[in-house]
Copies of this chain bind each other. A is one copy, B any other.
Amino acid sequence: MTSSLIPEGFRPFASRGRFTEKIGPLYYKTDGDSTIYGFLADESHTNGHGMVHGGMLVSFLDETLGQIIWRSLDKQQCATISLTCDFVAGAKPGDWIETRAEISRKGMAVIFVRGELLVRGERIVTADGIWKIIGK
């Protein structure tokens, strides 16, 4: 992995658990009030077809949507309760993959979010998720 393949301004994010270390490095970049997340797909993320494994794509989405929600909740702990992903295109080693997300609704106990993964501006995964604030 060559650092020149990481877009300017992105930095690896600190561990939030061992699983993200195992599948990473995963990156973030602050851009005004928002945070953009990305990772560089490599051979270690591939399935038997040589494409990025769906599990890796969902893992990255789950982690980064969770971080976006956590930030929007002033860092209250929350957990995924439902996640639906459509795999509309594939990704290959060498692709830089970014998350985009929009929170649809913040309730007292649950948060609804729409997200997507992009490669070179094209959607590869679309997702709808529900997170729950722990203890509410």
Q: Does A82 contact B (CB under 8 A)?
A: yes
Contact A55 B58 (CB under 8 A): yes
Q: Which residue of B lies closest to A63 (CB)?
A: B55
Give the number of times this chain occurs in the complex, counting copies.
Answer: 2
Interface string of A50-94 (1 = CB under 8 A from B): 101111101110110000000000000101111111110010000
User: At the interface, yes or no: A16 with Cβ under 8 Å from chain B?
Assistant: yes
Chain A residues bordering chain B, tally (CB within 8 A): 37
Question: What 12 new A-B contacts, CB under 8 Å, besides A17-B46, A19-B53, A54-B80?
Answer: A17-B47, A17-B49, A17-B53, A18-B44, A22-B23, A49-B79, A49-B134, A55-B55, A58-B59, A58-B62, A79-B90, A83-B85
A binding-site residues for B, Cβ under 8 Å: 16-20, 22-23, 43-50, 52-56, 58-60, 62-63, 77, 79-87, 90, 134
